[in-house]
Chains A and B, each alone.
Chain A
């Protein structure tokens, strides 16, 4: 299923419709109980996302902001861009056989019309308490948007990219 990753445009629209659907199902989740739904969702979400993105189940998915490439597959778990150790051939410092996920993320993001420019957003620190839970349910409850109190007011700053032609400017 990994070949799908090289079709970021398709994935982007898939993400868009999944998001729409899950948000529609939100009130239903509430009725059943979010914890219960979280238990149901965990495994299917893990299987499907692992097959496609090698998902690490951080529980706060930012795939669409990182070129449909999971930042948690970076050995250093970097969520804001590549480290300074990328090899000249574009491979990872830690795993020489693996292409740097940020090199791929950057290439893919330039093909994405809706969320491509989100690469410039500053991603807040990971909430380690959400690890292992369903990111879809967390999206509905808003738990994935929770940032540390000190961070509030600073988490939405977007630097507009210059010099890179994203398909549509935001």
Chain B
């Protein structure tokens, strides 16, 4: 199949794992509301042994957090394989192309191109929405940079970014007949892998994947199905009413409702584990993408329960904060140094 035999587009671990035919696991890192790199490493450390790639979200839900380029730069320093998410909401084509080069220079080898939630979904709805490019134009732009070695303007790059390009798909919302066609368009634009929205409705995914196979798209792109644990029926109801594009069938909500208090969290994890096992059986599915906001421990548990361990590659355990490369004590010491320096001059 084309997707396994095409020449390597990046030197990245995720591409190699997928092309070797492993069932891949990627997961999302909840970005901190902080300027402290330690918080990124703490969250990543929990995912260290359980995921092949870590997604750094770009203002998901239109809420501001640490930037995705910043998180990715920190992660590459500790040997993680981050997936840089770029949303079209906040940046125009000039900023986006600069970010692609900057991230690639920092060792980022995977980029997920997204439209992005609208500003009204977040806590700063007064912001200006950009949407200079749409996600398909963004994918194509990244591909032009990688394959043609030029900016969108045609100006040449001395070293093109060698990146594995991803896109999102949502099989669970209208217009459903159009969704596989949109996937085809994304592949044509440049998508090498797909990460879908949360899947809680397996029959709906089965139907979608059937259309995808009929069109032969599963031979061209790696499909990673989005999954995630639900903490309670209230969380489920909140998600389906407030998070754009999330579809949760009543059967799942009812199941959580019937579960006695105190066991709901475990039941939510169990549902997620079951969904992983079911989607794994579908032809054309190449992996799962775990999303659990501020629940990294649950992700580690679910990956273990679903029998997806050990992963083909484990990031070595280390604490990058201890290296004097960018440790906070060193920064503080240098601040003191300048104090005395400037005083001496005065």
Known A84-B168, A164-B177: A151·B144 in contact at CB below 8 Å: yes
User: Which secondary structure dominates where chain A touches chain B?
Assistant: loop
B245 touches A154 (CB 8 A): no
Contact code string B136-172 (vs A, CB < 8 Å = 1, else 0): 1100110011001011111100000000000011100
Known A84-B115, A86-B174, A125-B133: A149·B245 in contact at CB below 8 Å: no
The segment from B6-14, B181-189, B277-285, B307-315 found at the interface with A is B181-189
Give the distance in Å from the alpha carbon of A126 to the alpha carbon of B92 in the complex. Answer: 11
B152 touches A163 (CB 8 A): no
Tell me, yes or no, whether B129 is within 8 Å of chain A by CB. yes
Closest to A86 in B: B173
B185 touches A150 (CB 8 A): no
Give the distance in Å from the alpha carbon of A75 to the alpha carbon of B185 in the complex. Answer: 21
* A89-126 interface with B by 8 A CB criterion: 89-90, 93-94, 100, 102-103, 106-107, 119-120, 122-126
Tell me, yes or no, whether A167 is within 8 Å of chain B by CB. no
Contact code string B322-337 (vs A, CB < 8 Å = 1, else 0): 0000000000000000
A-B contacts, CB under 8 A, total? 138
Tell me, yes or no, whether A168 is within 8 Å of chain B by CB. no
Tell me, yes or no, whether A148 is within 8 Å of chain B by CB. yes
Task: For A78, list chain B residues within 8 Å (CB).
Answer: 115, 131, 134
Tell me, yes or no, whether B127 is within 8 Å of chain A by CB. no
Give the distance in Å from the alpha carbon of A94 to the alpha carbon of B245 in the complex. Answer: 11
B118 touches A125 (CB 8 A): no
* A61-100 interface with B by 8 A CB criterion: 75-90, 93-94, 100
Pairs A-B, 3 closest by C-beta atoms: A149-B154, A85-B244, A84-B170
Residues of chain B at the chain A interface (Cβ within 8 Å): 88-89, 93, 115, 117-118, 120-121, 129, 131-137, 140-141, 144-145, 148, 150-155, 168-170, 173-175, 177-178, 180-182, 184-185, 188-189, 197, 211, 214-215, 244-245, 247
